[in-house]
A = this chain, B = another copy of it.
Amino acid sequence: MDEAGRIAIMARVLGAGGPGIEVGIGDDAAVLSPPATRLVWTIDEQVEGVHFRRHLVSWRDVGWRSYMAAASDVAAMGAVPWCALAALVVPEDVDDAALEAIAGGQREAADAARAPVVGGNLARGSVMSIATTFLGTCERPIERCGAVPGDGLWMAGRVGLAAAGMRALEEGKGTAPGLAAAVSAWRSPRALLTEGRAMAGHAHAAVDVSDGLACDAGHLADASGVQLVLDEVALLEDKGLRDAAGALGASALDLALHGGEDYALVAAGPTAIEGFRRIGEIRAGRGLVLRGVTGERPIEPRGFDHFAR
């Protein structure tokens, strides 16, 4: 199929309108009438061989994951997803059926998030990638920089499970007992949009966990100029994570601290937030501290770094 034919496939699968979408797929640009006076705007990119490996996921998963990874940034700002654009680089060996499955995964994700894909770009290239840009609406965005000493540290969703799932698939243990939830967490992550909205009026600062809890919580600590205390017992409360770690012979704590791609939300704020559980607190100081039963120790803000050597 030529470029026009492939755009037609995408348009047929994705083509849904929504509030404020005046012109969608098919012109030089989408035309929008913003339903709010304040917007948040992000772009995320998923690259084959880095964020996914073709033999470990379905094409539907590739589309779903690319959408949800971008939507998670909107959730992290406490905003409501509005609409998205997707730019695909497509190698020659990705056929029309694969492209349709990718669009199908994007459409399923868009239906779940109630925010349509209203345009994009197709280019050829030797390595598959999907760049997704997202607009959300909000009254008051929640930035990374507002945490203050005395705040609690709260988390919605899970951490470490997706990394366990990817490792299970890489080691050929995708169907082993105790690993089903982990594999599903990695293949079909879900942006925590409801939880993100629940932060309004409660959270002083927030991030989503894409590169790993220690790494992303470290960003929040740096931006706010505070110290984050993570409670080891709270992080290990997740039985599914402990089971997955056991099945892999891995450390559950290591997975929780340094595994990425679960898209949990971490917020700092004075009171409990609906859908979040307490995992620590904010103190004066700098950096990250892990508080275990036998005492405290500093931890490195390490996660998945695209350029670390």
Chain A residues within CB distance 8 Å of chain B: 1-6, 22-23, 26-34, 37-45, 47, 49-51, 73-74, 76-77, 79, 85-87, 89-90, 118-127, 129, 131, 133-136, 138, 141, 143-145, 206-208, 223, 305-309
Contact = CB atoms under 8 A, between A and B. Distances in A.
Contacts of A4: 305
Given A31-B143, A45-B87, 10 more contacts: A29-B40, A29-B42, A29-B134, A30-B41, A32-B40, A42-B119, A44-B87, A44-B121, A122-B306, A123-B306
A250 to B, nearest CB: 24
Nearest to A79: B29
Contacts of A306: 3, 90, 122-124
Copies of this chain assembled into the complex: 2
A127 B127 contact: yes
Contact of A42 (B30, B41, B76): B30
Contacts of A22: 38, 141
Contacts of A33: 37-39
A120 B3 CA distance: 27
Contacts of A120: 43
A141 B30 CA distance: 10
Contact of A27 (B1, B3, B87, B144): B144
B127 A41 contact: no
Nearest to A309: B2
